[in-house]
Amino acid sequence: MRNEAMLSLLKTLRFNGMLSQFDEIMEAAEIKKLNGIELMQQFFETEIAYRQTRTLRYRLDMARLPQVKSLDNFDCSDLPIQKELLISLAECQFIIEKSNLLLIGGSGSGKTHIALAIAYAALQKLYRVKFYLFGDLARHLLQAKEHRYEANFMARLERYHALVIDEMGYVPIDPQAGSLLFELFSKWYEKTSLIITTHLTFDEWAPLFGGAKSSKAIIDRVTHHCKILETGNVSWRLKEGNVAKK
């Protein structure tokens, strides 16, 4: 069944998906009596699937998601959000439109779960995604400025289709970091989709970005093209814990 000349050609062309499944495809082709066109189609479909899987693994590694989450087992019954809306957002049309997603709610209300699930859905569609805790992003920006690679760091972030910024406002940040974040958010406007989770109301953004004037400008940019979801204050984690104890 093995054709060494063909295998050599596939290796030269780096068709590793075809190489890995060569014997299986040929055996299936013989059983199904595939013609030449059908056999070629099977080989190319195998190669495409192989490359997409490798791309997903690479982008998942680069995304640095703390956990892989799904909407499949996410219970919306105690949240002011319809499951259908979340499923629709997981189609990632908002990324195509370069709009944003803002999740506002109390601790444990499911904001991060939703953000991670939608981020993973985007990765499965082969979008480039990056995850940051808000405080970590602020710290990275300060380090980049201190060591004079601020422009390069910001440029790298602009290559992503979507950035997840989790727990905005949970930890205090340096005022200089707030100014850098203002600059960064301005650069991302209508270029990169943001998925932001926060417990803060808009009135409470001012201390993060150096005052009311800057925070208003940031809010205007973030919310101009944006889906805003309020997850309420019911703790999903606490509910899960209570169910487990019963």
Please indicate, yes or no, whether residues 224 and 113 belong to a single structural domain of this protein.
yes
In a domain, 50, yes or no: yes
Contact of 23 with 1, CB cutoff 8 Å: yes
Please indicate, yes or no, whether residues 160 and 41 belong to a single structural domain of this protein.
no
Please indicate, yes or no, whether residues 49 and 163 belong to a single structural domain of this protein.
no
In a domain, 193, yes or no: yes
Please indicate, yes or no, whether residues 39 and 145 belong to a single structural domain of this protein.
no
- Measured CA to CA, the distance from residue 86 to residue 56 in angstroms comes to 22
Contact of 208 with 58, CB cutoff 8 Å: no
pLDDT of residue 3: 82
Contact of 114 with 103, CB cutoff 8 Å: yes
Please indicate, yes or no, whether residues 208 and 159 belong to a single structural domain of this protein.
yes
In a domain, 69, yes or no: no
Please indicate, yes or no, whether residues 103 and 52 belong to a single structural domain of this protein.
no
pLDDT of residue 2: 61
In a domain, 72, yes or no: no
**pLDDT tens per residue across span 144-180:** 999 999 999 999 999 999 999 999 999 888 889 988 9
**pLDDT tens per residue across span 185-244:** 999 999 999 999 999 999 999 989 888 998 999 999 999 999 999 998 766 554 444 333
Q: Which token pair is 121?
A: 């859905």
In a domain, 231, yes or no: yes
Q: What is the mean pLDDT of residues 7-12?
A: 92
Q: Report the amino acid identity of residue 69.
A: K
Please indicate, yes or no, whether residues 115 and 222 belong to a single structural domain of this protein.
yes
Domain that holds residue 139: 83-245
In a domain, 100, yes or no: yes
Please indicate, yes or no, whether residues 58 and 89 belong to a single structural domain of this protein.
no
Please indicate, yes or no, whether residues 91 and 127 belong to a single structural domain of this protein.
yes
Find the radius of gyration of the CA atoms of the chain.
Answer: 23
In this prediction the pTM is: 0.84
Instruction: Work out the end-to-end distance of the chain between its first and last CA atoms, rounded to an integer number of angstroms.
Output: 58
Number of residues that make up the chain: 246
In a domain, 194, yes or no: yes
In a domain, 49, yes or no: yes
Alpha-carbon torsion (69, 75, 78, 83), positive or negative: positive
Please indicate, yes or no, whether residues 193 and 122 belong to a single structural domain of this protein.
yes
pLDDT of residue 73: 83
Please indicate, yes or no, whether residues 169 and 211 belong to a single structural domain of this protein.
yes
Q: Give me the number of domains the chain comprises.
A: 2
**pLDDT tens per residue across span 36-47:** 999 999 999 999
Please indicate, yes or no, whether residues 145 and 25 belong to a single structural domain of this protein.
no
